[in-house]
Structure formats: C-alpha cells, structure tokens
Chains A and B, each alone.
Chain A
Amino acid sequence: AQSVTQLGSHVSVSEGALVLLRCNYSSSVPPYLFWYVQYPNQGLQLLLKYTTGATLVKGINGFEAEFKKSETSFHLTKPSAHMSDAAEYFCAVSDIKAAGNKLTFGGGTRVLVKP
C-alpha cells in the first residue's frame, strides 16, 4: 500500500523566513503527488501537483515543490513566509491501484508564522 509521511506535525517560522515542509512517499511506480493547504474551518485547496515532466513544480502563493525520485521526496518550500501562510498543509499521492484519483494523505503539518 502507498503511504505518505510528513516530518513535523508543527512548524514555526518567522515572517520573511524560508518555509520548508517535508514529504516522503512510498510507491512502487512513478507517483502523482499533490500539496494541499487547509485554512481553519475550510476545505482543502490545491497548491500544486506533480504528474510528469519538470521535477520542480511551481504553485500558487509563491510555493514550489521538487520531486526527487532517488529520495522519494516531494518537499514544499516558499522563500519568504507571510502571515497569511499560517495554515495546515497536506501532502498526498494518487493510489496507483485505484480507479479515479483516490488520494492518500500525509498526517499534515501545521504552520505557525511569527511576526
């Protein structure tokens, strides 16, 4: 079965500092990978996704992620944190054996941005 591990359930960064959220996955074939953001009491919003092609993927709100097959990682970064980035972030992978696009999510990383 596929799995997603997010290191660090909570991350605290200063405004203007680098945001780095770690995601590692397990998959026996090339995966499709997603990062979603969840603001308090809201649904999930897609930040970016990797399917094929360029391994550095740019998303909304200045976020980007790099697919590294050798490390089975898909870490999310943003060069300069903004107060509005405070939210919970989820990494997800498509289930290769399922019909449609059944997603397996990591446990989430809650980001706190300090002024």
Chain B
Amino acid sequence: NAGVMQNPRHLVRRRGQEARLRCSPMKGHSHVYWYRQLPEEGLKFMVYLQKENIIDESGMPKERFSAEFPKEGPSILRIQQVVRGDSAAYFCASSPTTGLAEPRTDTQYFGPGTRLTVL
C-alpha cells in the first residue's frame, strides 16, 4: 500500500505566480489535512477536507489560498499570487474513514511534503 504522495517535492515560483500542490492520500483514506511548516517552526494546521467537502478551513489565510479534494483525483492546495512569506514546507496527511471510532484518535499519515520557495 503506497503511502501519501505529494508532488512536486520542490517548487520554485516567482512573486505573483501561482503554486499548485498536489496530494494523493493513502488508498482507502477519505480524510485529508494540510499543514504548513515555516522555517524553524512546528507544523500549523491549514485545512481539513473530505471528498468534495471542506470541513474545517480555520487555518487557511483569508486570501490567495484555496483547497479542494474532488471526487476523483488528488487534493489540491492552491496559492495565488505567491509572496516570499509563503516559502515553507507544505505537508499533507490522510486518515481513514473512522466509522464508529473517535476521529480524534485517528492516526494521520504524512506525505514527504512540498517545499515551496518564492523568489
């Protein structure tokens, strides 16, 4: 069973360009989380999605950032008009459908991350 896949692993953009980060969850996982890790800091939650639904976007910046998880295909984190402060590692994590289990106990499986550099 392949792990969480993220691509690209490294992405360089100039200020004002768009960045698209892709995340393919583990097979059978329908929950996707995006986190951002700024240099020398811990991970900060951005958004939680299930198929075709944004469940919690409380950590997303109000402008320029959006996320989706379509019925088919990977989850996409999109950053429009990037600025230097967007330079960070962006991690995606997935977890399985929990059924009756308490979702807060679910293990999240992390991808290798996409390292975005804005010039």
Q: B25: CB under 8 A from chain A?
A: no
**Given contacts A104-B45, A107-B41, are A98 and B111 in contact (CB under 8 A)?**
no
Q: How many A-B residue pairs have CB under 8 A?
A: 78
State the CA gap A107–B105 with chains docked (Å).
Answer: 21
Q: Are B45 and A101 in contact (CB under 8 A)?
A: no
**B33 near A106 (CB under 8 angstroms)?**
no
Known: A98-B58, A102-B48. 18 other contacts (CB 8 A): A36-B110, A43-B6, A43-B91, A44-B91, A46-B108, A49-B107, A95-B104, A96-B104, A99-B56, A100-B106, A101-B33, A101-B106, A102-B33, A103-B108, A104-B45, A105-B42, A105-B44, A107-B41
Interface residues in B, total, Cβ within 8 A: 30
Residue of A whose beta carbon sits closest to that of B110: A43
- A32 near B105 with CB under 8 A, answer yes
Using a CB–CB cutoff of 8 Å, the interface residues on chain A facing chain B are 32, 36, 41-46, 49, 51, 90, 94-96, 98-108
Chain A residues, Cβ within 8 Å of B42: 90, 105-108
Return B106 CB to nearest CB of chain A, in Å.
5
* Interface residue from B44, B102, B107 paired with A46 (Cβ < 8 Å): B107
List of B residues within 8 angstroms of A44 by Cβ: 43, 91, 93, 110
**Cβ contacts A to B, 24 pairs, < 8 Å:** A41-B112, A42-B112, A42-B113, A43-B6, A43-B91, A43-B113, A45-B110, A49-B107, A96-B104, A98-B48, A99-B55, A100-B31, A100-B103, A101-B104, A101-B108, A102-B45, A103-B35, A103-B43, A103-B45, A105-B42, A105-B43, A106-B42, A107-B41, A108-B42
